[in-house]
Amino acid sequence: MENMSAVLFGIAQSLPGFLLAIVAHEAAHAWMALRFGDATAKAEGRLTLNPAAHYDPWGTILFPLLSAFTGFAVIGWAKPVPINVRNFRQLRPGIFWVSFAGPLANIVLGTLSAFLIAVIATQVDPNFAYFGIVLGMLKYSVFINFILAFFNLIPIPPLDGSKMVSVFLRGQALFRYEAIAAYAPMIFMGILLLSIVGISTLGYVLLPAQQLSQWLISKFFMLMSGV
């Protein structure tokens, strides 16, 4: 019963940061697409921070619950926004910046969360009733935002990073690169299976995200402490 209570508490503490991270990621794609002339996502009601417009049954509900109840952090994703690149006024810049907008939104949110941790830790009385809870929520927000940003920047189709790389390729090089998408499910399954058996392949891939988040928190803490 205590374990169940701890899991439910962890889910509740993670939920605000999780929802904001995945929703902001998709809304940023939609906003940038509109800036380049594609209103497809806006027309389908995706240019919003309302989680109801972005939720994916598996990525937003089932997978996060499964990860939480198996001892991992709450991790998941939202439904990808529809993008029609034929509407872009500038094709290659449009693809690059629309793809980068999602990870960039997460980097901004993660940085803001790290700053708020430093502010609260140094300026708020630790006896405040919700001191630990708020810090826990913000620490998770830093974690999930930088994990989402760095994961999506991996240059494996169909992740955002692959689309950013594709704008610099031409001809056969582009064709061969995009063909990797057919093997993407097997690549990600292999990474997941290696992690399950104790070979933390994904951990090595996302280590820069963890290091950056820790570095930012420490720097903001030093700034607020006047060190």
Write the burial class of residue 136 (CB in 10 Å: 0-12 exposed, 13-18 middle, 19+ buried).
middle
Helices (H), 87-155: 91-123, 131-152
Q: Is 26 a catalytic residue?
A: yes
Helix, strand or coil, per DSSP, at residue 73? coil
CA dihedral (161, 17, 227, 223) positive or negative: positive
How far is C-alpha 68 from the geometric centre of its chain's CA atoms? Answer: 17
Q: Which of 2, 26, 44, 178 is catalytic?
A: 26
- Write the DSSP symbol of residue 170: -
Characterize 167-201 residue by residue with b for buried, 16 or more Cβ atoms within 10 angstroms of its Cβ, and e for exposed: beeeeeeeeebeeeeeeeeeeeeebeeebeeeeee
* Active site (catalytic) residues: 26
